[in-house]
Amino acid sequence: MNKTEKIQYVIDELERLYPETPVPLDHTDAYTLLIAVLLSAQCTDKRVNQITPLLFVKANTPQDMVQLEVEEIRQIIKPCGLSPRKSKAIWELSRILLDEHNGNVPDSFEALERLPGVGHKTASVVMAQAFDVPAFPVDTHIHRLMYRWNLSNGKNVEQTEKDAKRLFPEQLWNKLHLQIIFYGREYSPARSAKKDIDFITAKIGRKSEIAKLN
């Protein structure tokens, strides 16, 4: 297969497997999504979804969040890890939203990335899932699979994002990045991927990665 055929194969197979792509992080609006994505750094979506209801019952708006003490936020989110940094970021970004954005989550990459605790990946998730703006957030699954499928060199996540945006049609980005994540979790884990299960890698992957499949 040439590169164009490989891309179409990936698109077709992921669409067959995952015609629906529910957002993995439970949320009710842009603000609760932003907080959930921030909490997901070095934490599983499953754990975040267990913790956010405990936090959001106390505060699910910037107005309510700044009424809490940072330490109270930290105690609630502790199971998600990095709680000192995350709790401070949650409180501070909530204050900034009130002071500078009328309590609303801004719908631009630049404004989001200026918020404490919000990097490019978090901003991309919010832009894609809250505002339906084309973005391609690269997490560990996407970074791993783009390399395994010989679609990126694995140098860094910035390069992986550039390659994904260059190779895949823009109108598919928001759905496709979730489809790749779902495939990575179910069929192509970081360790012990199996040839008879990880069929996309087995068919189009780089030779060194195919050789690793059990």
Identify the burial level of 4 via C-beta atoms within 10 angstroms of its C-beta, where 0-12 means exposed, 13-18 middle and 19 or more buried: exposed
User: What tokens does 23 get?
Assistant: 């957002």
Q: Is 121 assigned a catalytic role? A: yes
- The contacts of residue 95 (CB under 8 Å, 6+ apart) are 62, 66
What does the DSSP assignment read for 10-73? HHHHHHHH-S----SS--SSHHHHHHHHHHTTTS-HHHHHHHHHHHHTT-SSHHHHTTS-HHHH
Residue in 139, 162, 165, 212 annotated catalytic:
139
**The residue type at 81:** G
d(Cα 103, Cα 99) in Å, to the nearest integer?
7
Cα–Cα distances (Å) from 52 to 31, 63, 119, in that order, read: 12, 17, 20
Residue in 6, 121, 163, 198 annotated catalytic:
121
Q: Is 26 assigned a catalytic role? A: no
Instruction: Tell me the three state secondary structure of residue 131.
Output: coil
Which residues does the annotation mark as catalytic? Answer: 121, 139
